[in-house]
Amino acid sequence: MSTEYNVIIFDKPNVDRSEVRPYHFSQIPGAFNSGVVKSAGAIYHDESKTKFAGSAFHLVADSKEQVIDFLKRDIYYEKGIWDIESVIIHPIGLAARLPKVLDGVNEELYKL
């Protein structure tokens, strides 16, 4: 049975994700459209959002190991940006979710 997980993964210190960010971003609609990702976004060190700290997701998976496998297929992991040892994974039970839909994501997946 699949579970939705709250996932936070930090970037390694002093890495620059900017070179591969366009590719990473281009893969997001497919992850949503597959039903695996329910929310995704960057986390920052500061409120002005000038320095990335990592990424946050809500992912649907059968296990924490499956979440790790998903993360390991991302360019941020492949290029040594994400610190897989720092990942925080917890099952989540949402009370509500409001959509903010990215271009390329099938909006029908988010209608109630």
Compute the mean pLDDT over every residue in the chain, rounded to the nearest whole number.
91
* 38: CATH: 3.30.70.1060
Number of compact structural domains in the chain: 1
Residue-level pLDDT at 110? 64
Poorest-confidence range of 21-25, 31-35, 95-99?
Answer: 95-99
Q: Is residue 107 part of a domain?
A: no
Q: Domain of residue 36: give its range.
A: 3-94
101 pLDDT tier (thresholds 50, 70, 90): confident
Q: What is the pLDDT of residue 97?
A: 74
Which is more confidently placed, 22 or 110?
A: 22
User: Residues 66, 72, 73, 75: is their CA dihedral positive or negative?
Assistant: positive
pLDDT band at residue 90 using 50, 70 and 90 as cut-offs:
very high
Residue 77 lies in a domain: yes
pTM for the structure as a whole: 0.85
